[in-house]
Structure 1
Amino acid sequence: MSYYLGIEVKQLDGGIFIFQERYAREIIKKFKIINSNPVTTPTEVGIKLSKYEEGDVDPSYFKSLIGSLRYLACTRLYILFNVGLMSQFMGSFTMTHLKVAKRILRYLKGTLDCGLFYSPSKEFKLEGCCDSDWAGDVNDRKSASGYVFFVGNTAFTWSSKKQPIVILSTCDL
């Protein structure tokens, strides 16, 4: 097994497993989540965050937490959207934002052994999925969207981002 910059690579008979268990344990310890209970989802369903909430948070602590999560998201696609959402508040964050970011850590605590598994396949089948939250940002009404594409069962590209403009409608009435 190789360990380079927090990314671990394990060669198995059926393929290659890329993960960051050691790094995830380090950030769970660094941000004092060791004694917290794991949760089953990275964020609460339907949560809407605003930049106009009250509360004070240590800027270096919050930025370090989000930076650590951004690095961890390279092998954990299922937190990519949530980490991107929290990254939007790097300029103005509150205790609510910190609680949401710590929930992502609590989710990671329960999924330490997850990662990306790349295996050879005789079937060349291209599949993709995409989704959007349709004006989900309560501050500027912009949409966030994301996609992931697979060849066989191997994810090879993915993205999650906030759209640069507000779309009013796709049809005329």
Structure 2
Amino acid sequence: MDLPPGLPNQNNKVCRLLKSLYGLKQASRQWFEKLSNSLITYGFTQGKSDCSLFIKKSATSFMALLVYVDNVLLVSDDLQQIQLLKKFLHDQFTIKDLGPLKYFLDLEIARSKTGISLCQQKYALDILQDTDPSAYRRLVGRLLYLTITRPDLAYSVQVLSQFLAKPAVSHHKAAMRVLRYLKATPGHGLFFSSSSKLHLKAFLDSDWAGCIDTRRSITGFAIFLGNSLISWKSKKQATISRYSAEAKYQALAATTCEVQWLVYALQDLQIDHQQPTTLYIDSKSVMSIATNSVQHERTKHIQIDCHLVQEKLQEKLIKLFYIPSRLQLADILTKPLGSLPFYHTLRKMNILNIHVHLEGGCWSIASHIENMELKSKEGKAKAKIDSIH
């Protein structure tokens, strides 16, 4: 670094830092290296699936520590071990203990005997209050962070994020429509059941040539651990697919890679997931390609994806199961849905409003579906009576 002002510097000398200073480009890397070395010295093992995850297991206790910059999340089944670790970290770095997990990086966590709820209600309300209609790029960036707990927004935000460089009036109107939906459902979030089985299953789909500007397809998948949604994606594919089966096969390959990473993450957490992950797909053509080792002319340009999926099928990492399109939960991540199938999907994904009991019986998914189904039945009955007359 340059010499501080006031010191004579006749030979153009510079200072050599003995330790990193806050604000330098290398500071974050040096901080993480120091923290990692301290945790490893204490007895932790760094996770292979995620370098920010540290695990310590003994005959009587299990402890997992997750790091995000200078924020640390700690879980264990032994309170005494937690106190010892906190004392060690405080002696090393002078930490601030925030107590049981309730609020972390704009995530609101509520725990009960039935499970854990995760939402971003405060963050959603801040978006609604601070939104500048002209700041399209900033709005989409904040909505992207909101999709951490709101998979129902993933497809809409994925579409809006394609026009950050030069948004048109129609894109602003679409963003305002998303905000109106957000205003009606600020407290929606994910629910992780305590009775959920530790078995992975995934729903995957694609919208062939769904992007009207580039004619690229949209990949969508939702992965559950038991009945709890833990991973999802809505993303435009990198290449153009000539056939719908090709687009779905690329979605299958992307889902397979995510499943493999989740299996590694479970292994880091000392959870042995031996049974194959069930992948639900609504295309028999894709299942035929995946189980047929003979490469045809129509699939030779996606041979890498074919070999990847076939290899994981042979290793029994995954198994394919056909379901009709009306039962495909990944549709919500690939295309716009009507109101009734949209809210039915949210219900199956365990996306709930954890604050509904505090808000005097306000809007909820279950009541909304019931009202919509009642109106649909009334409309059909009226149409039938009119046709008779």
Counterpart of 1:116?
190
Q: Which of 118, 140, 151 is the aligned partner of 2:214?
A: 140
Mark the structure with the bigger radius of gyration: 2
Report whether the alignment pairs 1:130 with 2:230: no
Counterpart of 1:28?
128
- 1:137 aligned counterpart, secondary structure: coil
Q: Which of 105, 114, 138 is the aligned partner of 1:14?
A: 114
TM-score with structure 1 length normalisation?
0.77
Structure 2 Cα separation of the partners of residues 154 and 82 of structure 1: 22
Counterpart of 1:103?
177
Structure 1 Cα separation of the partners of residues 158 and 200 of structure 2: 26
1:123 is displaced (CA, Å) by 3.2
Counterpart of 2:166?
92
Counterpart of 1:152?
226
1:127 is displaced (CA, Å) by 2.6
- 1:161 aligned counterpart, secondary structure: strand
1:122 is displaced (CA, Å) by 5.4
**RMSD value, Cα:** 1.9
Whichever residue aligns with residue 209 of structure 2, its letter is A
1:165 is displaced (CA, Å) by 0.4
Structure 2 Cα separation of the partners of residues 124 and 94 of structure 1: 46
Unaligned 5+ runs, structure 1: 33-56
Report whether the alignment pairs 1:83 with 2:157: yes
Structure 1 Cα separation of the partners of residues 112 and 180 of structure 2: 28
Counterpart of 2:289?
none
Structure with a larger share of its residues in helix = 2
Structure 1 Cα separation of the partners of residues 113 and 217 of structure 2: 42
Structure 2 Cα separation of the partners of residues 3 and 122 of structure 1: 24
Structure 2 Cα separation of the partners of residues 126 and 2 of structure 1: 27
Unaligned 5+ runs, structure 2: 1-100, 247-296, 299-389
1:97 is displaced (CA, Å) by 0.3
Whichever residue aligns with residue 168 of structure 2, its letter is T
Structure 1 Cα separation of the partners of residues 197 and 170 of structure 2: 46
1:5 is displaced (CA, Å) by 2.5
Report if the CA contact (8 A) 2:117-2:191 is conserved: yes
- 1:131 aligned counterpart, secondary structure: strand
Deviations 1:57-96 (A, max 9, x none): 84xx001110110011100011111101110111121111
Counterpart of 2:103?
3
Whichever residue aligns with residue 129 of structure 2, its letter is K
Counterpart of 2:141?
67
Structure 1 Cα separation of the partners of residues 147 and 197 of structure 2: 28
- 1:85 aligned counterpart, secondary structure: helix
1:126 is displaced (CA, Å) by 3.2
Structure 1 Cα separation of the partners of residues 124 and 206 of structure 2: 28
1:102 is displaced (CA, Å) by 1.3
Closer, same or farther: CA 165–123 of 1 in aligned 2, 3 Å? same
Report if the CA contact (8 A) 2:113-2:194 is conserved: no
- 1:136 aligned counterpart, secondary structure: coil
1:2 is displaced (CA, Å) by 1.7
Structure 2 Cα separation of the partners of residues 122 and 98 of structure 1: 40
1:124 is displaced (CA, Å) by 3.9
TM-score with structure 2 length normalisation?
0.36
Structure 1 Cα separation of the partners of residues 203 and 209 of structure 2: 19
Identical-pair percentage: 36
1:153 is displaced (CA, Å) by 1.2
